[in-house]
Structure 1
Amino acid sequence: MGNLDIIRKKGKLSPTDVIFLAKGIVNLLLQCVMSLEGMTFALSLKIFNIRQVSVFMNTSGYFLIYYNFWLTFWLSAHYCTTITNLSYGFFIWLKRIVSNFLSHLLFLTALGVFIVSVLGFWALNAESLIQSSVNSTNISVISLDKVFYYHVSANTLGVTLPFCLSLLCLVLTSSFLLRHVWRVKNNDSGSTRPNLQAHVTALRTIFFLLLIFTFFCVSRALMIHQNSSSHSSVCIK
Protein backbone atom coordinates (compact mmCIF):
# COMPACT_ATOMS: atom_id res chain seq x y z
CA MET A 1 0.00 0.00 0.00
CA GLY A 2 2.88 2.34 0.80
CA ASN A 3 4.56 1.66 -2.53
CA LEU A 4 1.31 2.23 -4.40
CA ASP A 5 0.97 5.57 -2.63
CA ILE A 6 4.52 6.49 -3.69
CA ILE A 7 3.67 5.60 -7.29
CA ARG A 8 0.56 7.79 -7.13
CA LYS A 9 2.50 10.78 -5.75
CA LYS A 10 5.89 10.52 -7.46
CA GLY A 11 5.12 8.27 -10.41
CA LYS A 12 8.35 6.34 -9.95
CA LEU A 13 9.83 4.01 -7.36
CA SER A 14 13.41 3.95 -6.16
CA PRO A 15 15.36 0.66 -6.50
CA THR A 16 14.84 0.02 -2.77
CA ASP A 17 11.08 0.52 -3.09
CA VAL A 18 10.94 -1.80 -6.11
CA ILE A 19 12.77 -4.59 -4.27
CA PHE A 20 10.66 -4.20 -1.15
CA LEU A 21 7.50 -4.22 -3.26
CA ALA A 22 8.66 -7.43 -4.97
CA LYS A 23 9.50 -9.02 -1.60
CA GLY A 24 6.10 -8.05 -0.25
CA ILE A 25 4.28 -9.60 -3.20
CA VAL A 26 6.41 -12.75 -3.01
CA ASN A 27 5.80 -13.11 0.72
CA LEU A 28 2.04 -12.69 0.29
CA LEU A 29 1.96 -15.32 -2.45
CA LEU A 30 4.11 -17.65 -0.34
CA GLN A 31 1.72 -17.31 2.58
CA CYS A 32 -1.18 -18.16 0.26
CA VAL A 33 0.59 -21.23 -1.13
CA MET A 34 1.59 -22.44 2.35
CA SER A 35 -1.94 -21.87 3.68
CA LEU A 36 -3.45 -23.73 0.74
CA GLU A 37 -0.99 -26.58 1.22
CA GLY A 38 -1.75 -26.75 4.93
CA MET A 39 -5.51 -26.84 4.32
CA THR A 40 -5.03 -29.55 1.69
CA PHE A 41 -3.05 -31.70 4.15
CA ALA A 42 -5.64 -31.14 6.88
CA LEU A 43 -8.74 -31.75 4.78
CA SER A 44 -7.77 -34.40 2.26
CA LEU A 45 -4.41 -35.94 1.43
CA LYS A 46 -5.92 -37.49 -1.71
CA ILE A 47 -6.07 -34.05 -3.33
CA PHE A 48 -2.37 -33.53 -2.74
CA ASN A 49 -1.62 -36.94 -4.26
CA ILE A 50 -2.94 -35.68 -7.60
CA ARG A 51 0.13 -35.06 -9.74
CA GLN A 52 -0.99 -31.69 -11.11
CA VAL A 53 -1.69 -30.40 -7.61
CA SER A 54 1.62 -31.61 -6.20
CA VAL A 55 3.54 -30.12 -9.14
CA PHE A 56 1.87 -26.73 -8.63
CA MET A 57 2.33 -26.71 -4.83
CA ASN A 58 5.96 -27.83 -4.76
CA THR A 59 7.17 -25.80 -7.72
CA SER A 60 5.39 -22.65 -6.49
CA GLY A 61 6.78 -23.08 -2.98
CA TYR A 62 10.36 -23.58 -4.14
CA PHE A 63 10.11 -20.71 -6.61
CA LEU A 64 8.79 -18.19 -4.08
CA ILE A 65 11.28 -19.17 -1.37
CA TYR A 66 14.29 -19.08 -3.67
CA TYR A 67 13.17 -15.85 -5.33
CA ASN A 68 12.73 -14.22 -1.93
CA PHE A 69 16.34 -15.08 -1.07
CA TRP A 70 17.63 -13.64 -4.34
CA LEU A 71 15.65 -10.46 -3.69
CA THR A 72 17.49 -10.23 -0.38
CA PHE A 73 20.76 -10.37 -2.28
CA TRP A 74 19.74 -7.63 -4.72
CA LEU A 75 18.67 -5.46 -1.80
CA SER A 76 22.03 -6.12 -0.11
CA ALA A 77 23.87 -5.36 -3.36
CA HIS A 78 21.95 -2.10 -3.77
CA TYR A 79 22.79 -0.98 -0.23
CA CYS A 80 26.41 -2.04 -0.66
CA THR A 81 26.97 -0.20 -3.93
CA THR A 82 25.11 2.88 -2.70
CA ILE A 83 26.75 3.20 0.71
CA THR A 84 30.31 2.05 0.09
CA ASN A 85 31.02 3.75 -3.26
CA LEU A 86 33.78 1.24 -3.99
CA SER A 87 35.92 2.10 -6.99
CA TYR A 88 36.38 -1.47 -8.23
CA GLY A 89 35.14 -2.13 -11.75
CA PHE A 90 32.78 -4.91 -10.69
CA PHE A 91 31.01 -2.76 -8.10
CA ILE A 92 30.72 0.15 -10.52
CA TRP A 93 29.16 -2.21 -13.07
CA LEU A 94 26.86 -3.71 -10.43
CA LYS A 95 25.71 -0.27 -9.27
CA ARG A 96 24.94 0.74 -12.86
CA ILE A 97 23.00 -2.45 -13.49
CA VAL A 98 20.96 -2.20 -10.28
CA SER A 99 20.19 1.49 -10.84
CA ASN A 100 19.26 1.36 -14.53
CA PHE A 101 18.06 -2.16 -15.28
CA LEU A 102 16.57 -3.37 -12.01
CA SER A 103 13.22 -4.46 -13.46
CA HIS A 104 14.94 -6.50 -16.20
CA LEU A 105 17.31 -7.92 -13.61
CA LEU A 106 14.47 -9.05 -11.36
CA PHE A 107 12.68 -10.64 -14.31
CA LEU A 108 15.78 -12.59 -15.39
CA THR A 109 16.35 -13.63 -11.78
CA ALA A 110 12.77 -14.90 -11.55
CA LEU A 111 13.27 -16.89 -14.76
CA GLY A 112 16.46 -18.47 -13.47
CA VAL A 113 14.91 -19.23 -10.08
CA PHE A 114 11.97 -20.94 -11.77
CA ILE A 115 14.40 -23.31 -13.50
CA VAL A 116 16.08 -23.98 -10.15
CA SER A 117 12.70 -24.63 -8.52
CA VAL A 118 12.03 -27.32 -11.13
CA LEU A 119 15.18 -29.06 -9.88
CA GLY A 120 13.68 -28.98 -6.40
CA PHE A 121 10.53 -30.67 -7.67
CA TRP A 122 12.60 -33.28 -9.47
CA ALA A 123 14.21 -34.06 -6.14
CA LEU A 124 10.82 -34.75 -4.62
CA ASN A 125 9.87 -36.83 -7.66
CA ALA A 126 13.05 -38.88 -7.24
CA GLU A 127 12.16 -39.41 -3.58
CA SER A 128 8.83 -40.90 -4.66
CA LEU A 129 10.72 -43.23 -6.99
CA ILE A 130 12.70 -44.51 -4.01
CA GLN A 131 9.53 -45.18 -2.05
CA SER A 132 8.00 -47.05 -5.00
CA SER A 133 11.12 -49.14 -5.64
CA VAL A 134 11.91 -50.43 -2.16
CA ASN A 135 12.06 -53.99 -3.46
CA SER A 136 14.78 -53.15 -6.00
CA THR A 137 18.08 -52.16 -4.38
CA ASN A 138 19.74 -50.98 -7.62
CA ILE A 139 16.90 -48.65 -8.53
CA SER A 140 16.85 -47.30 -4.99
CA VAL A 141 20.58 -46.51 -5.07
CA ILE A 142 20.28 -44.74 -8.43
CA SER A 143 17.27 -42.75 -7.22
CA LEU A 144 19.10 -41.83 -4.03
CA ASP A 145 21.98 -40.45 -6.09
CA LYS A 146 19.50 -38.37 -8.09
CA VAL A 147 17.90 -37.05 -4.91
CA PHE A 148 21.29 -35.98 -3.57
CA TYR A 149 22.25 -34.32 -6.86
CA TYR A 150 18.95 -32.46 -7.22
CA HIS A 151 18.91 -31.31 -3.61
CA VAL A 152 22.51 -30.08 -3.71
CA SER A 153 22.04 -28.30 -7.06
CA ALA A 154 18.76 -26.64 -6.14
CA ASN A 155 19.82 -25.58 -2.66
CA THR A 156 23.21 -24.34 -3.86
CA LEU A 157 21.71 -22.12 -6.57
CA GLY A 158 18.58 -21.13 -4.68
CA VAL A 159 19.84 -20.81 -1.09
CA THR A 160 23.60 -21.05 -0.58
CA LEU A 161 24.70 -18.74 -3.42
CA PRO A 162 22.39 -15.79 -2.59
CA PHE A 163 23.17 -16.22 1.12
CA CYS A 164 26.94 -16.02 0.56
CA LEU A 165 26.59 -13.03 -1.76
CA SER A 166 24.30 -11.22 0.69
CA LEU A 167 26.70 -11.95 3.54
CA LEU A 168 29.59 -10.59 1.47
CA CYS A 169 27.67 -7.38 0.80
CA LEU A 170 26.85 -7.06 4.51
CA VAL A 171 30.50 -7.51 5.51
CA LEU A 172 31.72 -5.00 2.92
CA THR A 173 29.13 -2.42 3.91
CA SER A 174 29.77 -2.85 7.65
CA SER A 175 33.54 -2.61 7.26
CA PHE A 176 33.19 0.52 5.10
CA LEU A 177 30.98 2.23 7.66
CA LEU A 178 33.27 1.27 10.54
CA ARG A 179 36.29 2.70 8.72
CA HIS A 180 34.31 5.81 7.88
CA VAL A 181 33.27 6.35 11.51
CA TRP A 182 36.87 5.76 12.66
CA ARG A 183 38.22 8.33 10.19
CA VAL A 184 35.61 10.89 11.23
CA LYS A 185 36.36 10.29 14.91
CA ASN A 186 40.14 10.64 14.52
CA ASN A 187 40.06 13.53 12.06
CA ASP A 188 37.37 15.60 13.68
CA SER A 189 37.77 19.19 12.55
CA GLY A 190 34.81 20.51 14.44
CA SER A 191 32.42 20.11 11.57
CA THR A 192 29.09 18.37 11.90
CA ARG A 193 29.39 14.62 11.69
CA PRO A 194 27.35 12.93 8.98
CA ASN A 195 24.10 11.27 9.91
CA LEU A 196 24.57 7.52 9.56
CA GLN A 197 21.12 6.52 10.80
CA ALA A 198 19.89 5.56 7.33
CA HIS A 199 22.98 3.42 6.75
CA VAL A 200 22.63 1.72 10.12
CA THR A 201 18.96 1.01 9.36
CA ALA A 202 19.97 -0.57 6.05
CA LEU A 203 22.55 -2.77 7.77
CA ARG A 204 20.05 -3.80 10.44
CA THR A 205 17.52 -4.73 7.75
CA ILE A 206 20.00 -6.93 5.88
CA PHE A 207 21.20 -8.50 9.15
CA PHE A 208 17.71 -9.59 10.19
CA LEU A 209 16.92 -10.85 6.68
CA LEU A 210 20.10 -12.95 6.77
CA LEU A 211 19.17 -14.18 10.24
CA ILE A 212 15.86 -15.49 8.87
CA PHE A 213 17.88 -16.85 5.96
CA THR A 214 20.12 -18.75 8.39
CA PHE A 215 17.18 -20.32 10.23
CA PHE A 216 15.82 -21.59 6.92
CA CYS A 217 19.21 -22.99 5.85
CA VAL A 218 19.59 -24.86 9.14
CA SER A 219 16.09 -26.32 8.88
CA ARG A 220 16.71 -27.40 5.28
CA ALA A 221 20.02 -29.01 6.21
CA LEU A 222 18.42 -30.96 9.04
CA MET A 223 15.54 -32.08 6.82
CA ILE A 224 17.87 -33.24 4.04
CA HIS A 225 20.05 -35.09 6.56
CA GLN A 226 16.99 -36.80 8.03
CA ASN A 227 15.67 -37.81 4.59
CA SER A 228 19.09 -39.07 3.50
CA SER A 229 19.42 -41.15 6.65
CA SER A 230 15.97 -42.70 6.22
CA HIS A 231 16.58 -43.46 2.54
CA SER A 232 19.97 -45.00 3.31
CA SER A 233 18.36 -47.31 5.84
CA VAL A 234 15.76 -48.31 3.22
CA CYS A 235 18.51 -49.16 0.70
CA ILE A 236 20.42 -51.21 3.29
CA LYS A 237 17.30 -53.18 4.06
Structure 2
Amino acid sequence: MLSRERMPSLLILFFMIFFLLESMAAILGNGFIIVVLGREWVRCCTLPPGDMILASLGISRFFLQWVTIFSNFHSYFYQPNRNLYIVTFWNFANVITFWFTTWLAVFYCVKISSFTHPIFLWLKWRISRYVPWLLLWSLLVSTLIFIPSFVNKCDIFHLPVTGNYSEKTALDKTRALQRLSYLSLKIFFLLIPFLFFLASTILLISSLCQHLRNMQHHSAGPQDPSMQVHITTLKSVFFFLILYASSVLSLITTLIAPISVCNSGFWVWEVGTYAGITIHPAFLILNSTKLRRALKKMLYDHETA
Protein backbone atom coordinates (compact mmCIF):
# COMPACT_ATOMS: atom_id res chain seq x y z
CA MET A 1 0.00 0.00 0.00
CA LEU A 2 1.17 3.51 -0.83
CA SER A 3 0.98 6.21 1.79
CA ARG A 4 -1.07 9.33 1.07
CA GLU A 5 2.17 11.37 1.02
CA ARG A 6 3.42 9.22 -1.86
CA MET A 7 0.39 9.77 -4.09
CA PRO A 8 1.48 12.11 -6.93
CA SER A 9 -0.14 15.48 -7.52
CA LEU A 10 -1.83 16.15 -10.86
CA LEU A 11 1.21 18.09 -12.12
CA ILE A 12 3.64 15.32 -11.17
CA LEU A 13 1.28 12.69 -12.60
CA PHE A 14 1.13 14.58 -15.91
CA PHE A 15 4.91 14.69 -16.28
CA MET A 16 5.22 11.08 -15.08
CA ILE A 17 2.92 9.98 -17.91
CA PHE A 18 4.74 12.23 -20.37
CA PHE A 19 8.09 10.79 -19.26
CA LEU A 20 6.75 7.24 -19.56
CA LEU A 21 5.41 7.84 -23.08
CA GLU A 22 8.68 9.50 -24.06
CA SER A 23 10.61 6.54 -22.65
CA MET A 24 8.46 4.03 -24.53
CA ALA A 25 9.13 5.91 -27.77
CA ALA A 26 12.88 5.80 -27.04
CA ILE A 27 12.73 2.07 -26.24
CA LEU A 28 10.82 1.33 -29.44
CA GLY A 29 13.22 3.40 -31.56
CA ASN A 30 16.35 1.86 -30.08
CA GLY A 31 14.74 -1.58 -30.07
CA PHE A 32 14.04 -1.26 -33.81
CA ILE A 33 17.70 -0.39 -34.46
CA ILE A 34 18.83 -3.37 -32.36
CA VAL A 35 16.50 -5.81 -34.16
CA VAL A 36 17.38 -4.68 -37.70
CA LEU A 37 21.14 -4.47 -37.20
CA GLY A 38 21.25 -7.45 -34.83
CA ARG A 39 19.50 -9.65 -37.40
CA GLU A 40 22.07 -8.64 -40.02
CA TRP A 41 24.89 -9.17 -37.51
CA VAL A 42 23.69 -12.73 -36.84
CA ARG A 43 23.11 -13.48 -40.53
CA CYS A 44 26.42 -12.08 -41.83
CA CYS A 45 28.51 -12.60 -38.64
CA THR A 46 29.73 -9.01 -39.05
CA LEU A 47 28.52 -5.44 -39.56
CA PRO A 48 29.96 -2.37 -41.27
CA PRO A 49 31.82 -0.25 -38.67
CA GLY A 50 29.21 2.54 -38.65
CA ASP A 51 26.35 0.09 -38.15
CA MET A 52 28.36 -1.65 -35.41
CA ILE A 53 28.51 1.63 -33.48
CA LEU A 54 24.79 2.27 -34.10
CA ALA A 55 23.89 -1.21 -32.80
CA SER A 56 26.04 -0.77 -29.69
CA LEU A 57 24.56 2.68 -29.07
CA GLY A 58 21.04 1.32 -29.49
CA ILE A 59 21.71 -1.47 -26.96
CA SER A 60 23.18 0.89 -24.36
CA ARG A 61 20.33 3.40 -24.75
CA PHE A 62 17.73 0.63 -24.64
CA PHE A 63 18.95 -0.60 -21.24
CA LEU A 64 19.62 2.95 -19.99
CA GLN A 65 16.01 3.94 -20.63
CA TRP A 66 14.61 0.84 -18.89
CA VAL A 67 16.80 1.26 -15.82
CA THR A 68 15.88 4.98 -15.68
CA ILE A 69 12.17 4.16 -15.69
CA PHE A 70 12.60 1.54 -12.97
CA SER A 71 14.87 3.79 -10.90
CA ASN A 72 12.60 6.87 -11.04
CA PHE A 73 9.32 5.09 -10.27
CA HIS A 74 10.87 2.80 -7.66
CA SER A 75 12.38 5.82 -5.92
CA TYR A 76 9.11 7.76 -5.95
CA PHE A 77 6.64 5.09 -4.88
CA TYR A 78 8.65 2.71 -2.71
CA GLN A 79 12.06 3.92 -1.61
CA PRO A 80 13.18 7.56 -1.34
CA ASN A 81 16.85 6.58 -1.69
CA ARG A 82 17.64 4.75 -4.89
CA ASN A 83 18.94 1.21 -4.63
CA LEU A 84 22.73 0.98 -4.71
CA TYR A 85 22.75 -1.57 -7.55
CA ILE A 86 20.28 0.44 -9.64
CA VAL A 87 22.39 3.57 -9.25
CA THR A 88 25.56 1.71 -10.23
CA PHE A 89 24.00 0.17 -13.35
CA TRP A 90 22.44 3.52 -14.33
CA ASN A 91 25.83 5.22 -14.01
CA PHE A 92 27.49 2.49 -16.07
CA ALA A 93 24.85 2.69 -18.82
CA ASN A 94 25.13 6.48 -18.90
CA VAL A 95 28.90 6.57 -19.31
CA ILE A 96 29.04 3.83 -21.94
CA THR A 97 26.21 5.56 -23.87
CA PHE A 98 28.23 8.78 -23.92
CA TRP A 99 31.30 6.89 -25.20
CA PHE A 100 29.36 5.14 -27.97
CA THR A 101 27.81 8.46 -29.02
CA THR A 102 31.28 9.99 -29.11
CA TRP A 103 32.69 7.20 -31.30
CA LEU A 104 29.79 7.68 -33.71
CA ALA A 105 30.70 11.35 -34.05
CA VAL A 106 34.41 10.53 -34.42
CA PHE A 107 33.64 7.92 -37.09
CA TYR A 108 31.49 10.36 -39.10
CA CYS A 109 34.10 13.07 -38.72
CA VAL A 110 36.93 10.90 -40.04
CA LYS A 111 34.89 9.37 -42.87
CA ILE A 112 33.09 12.50 -44.12
CA SER A 113 35.58 15.31 -43.52
CA SER A 114 37.69 16.38 -46.48
CA PHE A 115 40.84 17.42 -44.63
CA THR A 116 44.11 16.41 -46.33
CA HIS A 117 46.28 16.42 -43.24
CA PRO A 118 48.35 13.18 -42.99
CA ILE A 119 46.79 12.32 -39.62
CA PHE A 120 43.28 12.47 -41.10
CA LEU A 121 44.31 10.43 -44.13
CA TRP A 122 45.91 7.85 -41.84
CA LEU A 123 42.76 7.68 -39.69
CA LYS A 124 40.45 7.53 -42.70
CA TRP A 125 42.11 4.32 -43.87
CA ARG A 126 42.32 2.68 -40.43
CA ILE A 127 39.29 3.86 -38.44
CA SER A 128 37.10 0.99 -39.67
CA ARG A 129 39.38 -1.74 -38.32
CA TYR A 130 39.69 0.08 -34.97
CA VAL A 131 35.93 0.38 -34.34
CA PRO A 132 35.50 -3.04 -32.58
CA TRP A 133 38.49 -2.25 -30.35
CA LEU A 134 37.14 1.22 -29.53
CA LEU A 135 33.80 -0.28 -28.50
CA LEU A 136 35.50 -2.95 -26.41
CA TRP A 137 37.78 -0.35 -24.83
CA SER A 138 34.75 1.80 -23.92
CA LEU A 139 33.10 -1.19 -22.26
CA LEU A 140 36.24 -2.00 -20.31
CA VAL A 141 36.90 1.59 -19.20
CA SER A 142 33.27 2.10 -18.13
CA THR A 143 33.50 -1.07 -16.03
CA LEU A 144 36.82 -0.10 -14.44
CA ILE A 145 35.52 3.39 -13.63
CA PHE A 146 32.50 2.18 -11.69
CA ILE A 147 34.11 -0.65 -9.76
CA PRO A 148 35.84 1.84 -7.39
CA SER A 149 32.78 4.09 -7.36
CA PHE A 150 30.58 1.12 -6.40
CA VAL A 151 32.99 0.20 -3.57
CA ASN A 152 33.05 3.84 -2.51
CA LYS A 153 29.25 4.07 -2.34
CA CYS A 154 29.11 0.77 -0.46
CA ASP A 155 31.42 2.29 2.14
CA ILE A 156 29.16 5.35 2.42
CA PHE A 157 26.01 3.22 2.81
CA HIS A 158 27.63 1.05 5.49
CA LEU A 159 29.29 3.75 7.55
CA PRO A 160 28.12 3.26 11.16
CA VAL A 161 25.70 5.74 12.66
CA THR A 162 26.31 6.62 16.31
CA GLY A 163 24.81 9.06 18.75
CA ASN A 164 28.12 10.63 19.65
CA TYR A 165 28.19 14.22 18.31
CA SER A 166 31.92 14.31 17.48
CA GLU A 167 31.78 10.91 15.75
CA LYS A 168 28.64 11.97 13.85
CA THR A 169 30.36 15.16 12.69
CA ALA A 170 33.40 13.17 11.54
CA LEU A 171 31.16 10.72 9.67
CA ASP A 172 29.29 13.57 7.99
CA LYS A 173 32.60 15.05 6.85
CA THR A 174 33.73 11.64 5.58
CA ARG A 175 30.49 11.20 3.63
CA ALA A 176 30.78 14.70 2.16
CA LEU A 177 34.41 14.14 1.16
CA GLN A 178 33.63 10.76 -0.42
CA ARG A 179 30.64 12.21 -2.30
CA LEU A 180 32.78 15.12 -3.57
CA SER A 181 35.51 12.77 -4.80
CA TYR A 182 32.91 10.53 -6.44
CA LEU A 183 31.22 13.46 -8.21
CA SER A 184 34.57 14.85 -9.35
CA LEU A 185 35.55 11.46 -10.77
CA LYS A 186 32.23 11.01 -12.55
CA ILE A 187 32.14 14.53 -14.04
CA PHE A 188 35.74 14.10 -15.20
CA PHE A 189 34.94 10.86 -17.01
CA LEU A 190 31.82 12.40 -18.55
CA LEU A 191 33.78 15.38 -19.86
CA ILE A 192 36.44 13.23 -21.57
CA PRO A 193 34.05 11.73 -24.18
CA PHE A 194 32.25 15.07 -24.46
CA LEU A 195 35.49 16.86 -25.40
CA PHE A 196 36.25 14.17 -28.00
CA PHE A 197 32.73 14.57 -29.33
CA LEU A 198 32.95 18.37 -29.39
CA ALA A 199 36.30 18.36 -31.21
CA SER A 200 35.04 15.85 -33.80
CA THR A 201 31.84 17.80 -34.37
CA ILE A 202 33.63 21.13 -34.76
CA LEU A 203 36.09 19.60 -37.25
CA LEU A 204 33.26 17.99 -39.21
CA ILE A 205 31.26 21.24 -39.31
CA SER A 206 34.37 23.12 -40.43
CA SER A 207 35.03 20.57 -43.19
CA LEU A 208 31.43 20.63 -44.42
CA CYS A 209 31.31 24.45 -44.43
CA GLN A 210 34.57 24.54 -46.38
CA HIS A 211 33.19 22.01 -48.86
CA LEU A 212 29.97 24.01 -49.29
CA ARG A 213 31.97 27.19 -49.97
CA ASN A 214 34.01 25.35 -52.61
CA MET A 215 30.85 24.05 -54.25
CA GLN A 216 29.31 27.52 -54.32
CA HIS A 217 32.55 28.90 -55.73
CA HIS A 218 32.28 26.40 -58.59
CA SER A 219 28.70 27.55 -59.26
CA ALA A 220 26.94 24.49 -57.88
CA GLY A 221 23.26 25.33 -57.65
CA PRO A 222 21.23 24.99 -54.45
CA GLN A 223 19.37 22.02 -55.99
CA ASP A 224 22.61 20.17 -56.75
CA PRO A 225 22.35 16.67 -55.12
CA SER A 226 25.82 16.88 -53.60
CA MET A 227 25.01 20.30 -52.14
CA GLN A 228 21.78 18.98 -50.65
CA VAL A 229 23.56 15.99 -49.08
CA HIS A 230 26.13 18.22 -47.39
CA ILE A 231 23.50 20.69 -46.17
CA THR A 232 21.47 17.80 -44.69
CA THR A 233 24.58 16.39 -43.03
CA LEU A 234 25.46 19.81 -41.62
CA LYS A 235 21.97 20.21 -40.13
CA SER A 236 22.13 16.74 -38.59
CA VAL A 237 25.53 17.49 -37.03
CA PHE A 238 24.21 20.70 -35.44
CA PHE A 239 21.18 18.81 -34.14
CA PHE A 240 23.44 16.04 -32.85
CA LEU A 241 25.64 18.59 -31.05
CA ILE A 242 22.68 20.28 -29.35
CA LEU A 243 21.27 16.95 -28.12
CA TYR A 244 24.58 15.68 -26.80
CA ALA A 245 25.59 18.96 -25.13
CA SER A 246 22.19 19.31 -23.44
CA SER A 247 22.38 15.72 -22.14
CA VAL A 248 25.86 16.20 -20.67
CA LEU A 249 25.08 19.59 -19.12
CA SER A 250 21.78 18.41 -17.64
CA LEU A 251 23.44 15.32 -16.16
CA ILE A 252 26.27 17.35 -14.61
CA THR A 253 23.75 19.85 -13.22
CA THR A 254 21.76 16.98 -11.68
CA LEU A 255 24.92 15.57 -10.11
CA ILE A 256 25.93 18.90 -8.58
CA ALA A 257 22.46 19.99 -7.42
CA PRO A 258 20.19 16.91 -7.23
CA ILE A 259 16.43 17.42 -7.15
CA SER A 260 14.13 15.31 -5.00
CA VAL A 261 12.18 12.69 -6.93
CA CYS A 262 9.05 13.90 -5.09
CA ASN A 263 9.44 17.38 -6.60
CA SER A 264 7.59 18.18 -9.84
CA GLY A 265 10.78 19.88 -11.09
CA PHE A 266 12.50 16.48 -11.08
CA TRP A 267 10.01 15.03 -13.58
CA VAL A 268 10.13 18.14 -15.76
CA TRP A 269 13.91 17.81 -15.77
CA GLU A 270 13.73 14.10 -16.67
CA VAL A 271 11.40 14.82 -19.58
CA GLY A 272 13.85 17.40 -20.94
CA THR A 273 16.96 15.31 -20.28
CA TYR A 274 15.72 12.18 -22.04
CA ALA A 275 14.10 14.01 -24.96
CA GLY A 276 17.35 13.60 -26.87
CA ILE A 277 17.39 9.82 -26.41
CA THR A 278 13.81 9.78 -27.73
CA ILE A 279 14.40 12.02 -30.75
CA HIS A 280 17.84 10.83 -31.83
CA PRO A 281 16.91 7.17 -32.68
CA ALA A 282 14.15 8.42 -35.00
CA PHE A 283 16.64 10.80 -36.58
CA LEU A 284 19.17 7.98 -37.07
CA ILE A 285 16.52 5.71 -38.62
CA LEU A 286 15.39 8.36 -41.09
CA ASN A 287 18.97 9.19 -42.10
CA SER A 288 20.13 5.58 -42.54
CA THR A 289 19.23 3.97 -45.87
CA LYS A 290 19.30 0.49 -44.35
CA LEU A 291 17.12 1.36 -41.35
CA ARG A 292 14.74 3.49 -43.41
CA ARG A 293 14.28 0.64 -45.91
CA ALA A 294 13.60 -1.81 -43.06
CA LEU A 295 11.02 0.57 -41.56
CA LYS A 296 9.24 0.99 -44.91
CA LYS A 297 9.19 -2.78 -45.38
CA MET A 298 7.79 -3.31 -41.88
CA LEU A 299 5.05 -0.71 -42.44
CA TYR A 300 4.22 -2.16 -45.87
CA ASP A 301 4.00 -5.71 -44.47
CA HIS A 302 1.74 -4.43 -41.69
CA GLU A 303 -0.59 -2.71 -44.16
CA THR A 304 -0.83 -5.76 -46.43
CA ALA A 305 -1.31 -8.21 -43.55
Shorter chain as denominator, the TM-score bin is: 0.7 to 0.9
TM-score by length of 1: 0.75
State the Cα deviation string for residues 6-64 of structure 1 (Å, max 9, x = none): 44776642222111111111111112212332343355329x77xxxx34312211111
- Aligned counterparts, 1:123-134, within 5 A: 124-125=153-154, 128=157, 132=161
* Structure 1 residue 224 displacement after superposition: 3.4
Counterpart residue number, 1:58:
87
Aligned partners of 2:175 and 2:138: how far apart in 1?
A: 29
Quick check: 1:81–1:95 contact (8 Å CA) kept in 2? yes
* Number of residues of Structure 1 aligned to a counterpart in Structure 2: 220
Give the secondary-structure state (helix, strand or coil) at the position aligned to 2:257: helix
Distance 1:189 1:215, change over 3 A: closer
- Aligned counterparts, 1:1-237, within 5 A: 1-4=35-38, 6-7=40-41, 12-42=46-76, 44-45=78-79, 54-121=83-150, 124-125=153-154, 128=157, 132=161, 135=165, 136-157=168-189, 159-188=190-219, 195-226=226-257
Counterpart residue number, 1:233:
none
* Structure 1 residue 121 displacement after superposition: 3.7
Aligned partners of 2:97 and 2:146: how far apart in 1?
A: 12
Quick check: 1:59–1:117 contact (8 Å CA) kept in 2? yes
Aligned partners of 2:105 and 2:49: how far apart in 1?
A: 11
Quick check: 1:84–1:177 contact (8 Å CA) kept in 2? yes
Aligned partners of 1:39 and 1:225: how far apart in 2?
A: 22
Instruction: Report which stretch shifted further, 91-100 or 145-154.
Output: 91-100
Give the secondary-structure state (helix, strand or coil) at the position aligned to 1:13: coil
Distance 1:92 1:186, change over 3 A: closer
* Structure 1 residue 184 displacement after superposition: 2.2
Aligned partners of 1:126 and 1:196: how far apart in 2?
A: 58
Quick check: 1:133–1:139 contact (8 Å CA) kept in 2? no
Which structure 1 residue ranges, 5 or more long, are not aligned? 228-237
Which structure 2 residue ranges, 5 or more long, are not aligned? 1-34, 259-305
Quick check: 2:37–2:55 contact (8 Å CA) kept in 1? yes
Q: Which amino acid aligns with 2:247?
A: F
Aligned partners of 2:227 and 2:113: how far apart in 1?
A: 12
The RMSD of aligned alpha carbons is 3.4
State the Cα deviation string for residues 194-236 of structure 1 (Å, max 9, x = none): 6144444444444334323323333333333336xxxxxxxxx
Quick check: 2:102–2:193 contact (8 Å CA) kept in 1? yes
Distance 1:43 1:126, change over 3 A: same
Distance 1:205 1:181, change over 3 A: closer
Q: Which amino acid aligns with 1:138?
A: A
* Structure 1 residue 108 displacement after superposition: 1.3
Distance 1:149 1:19, change over 3 A: same
Q: Which amino acid aligns with 1:66?
A: V
TM-score by length of 2: 0.60
Quick check: 2:114–2:207 contact (8 Å CA) kept in 1? no
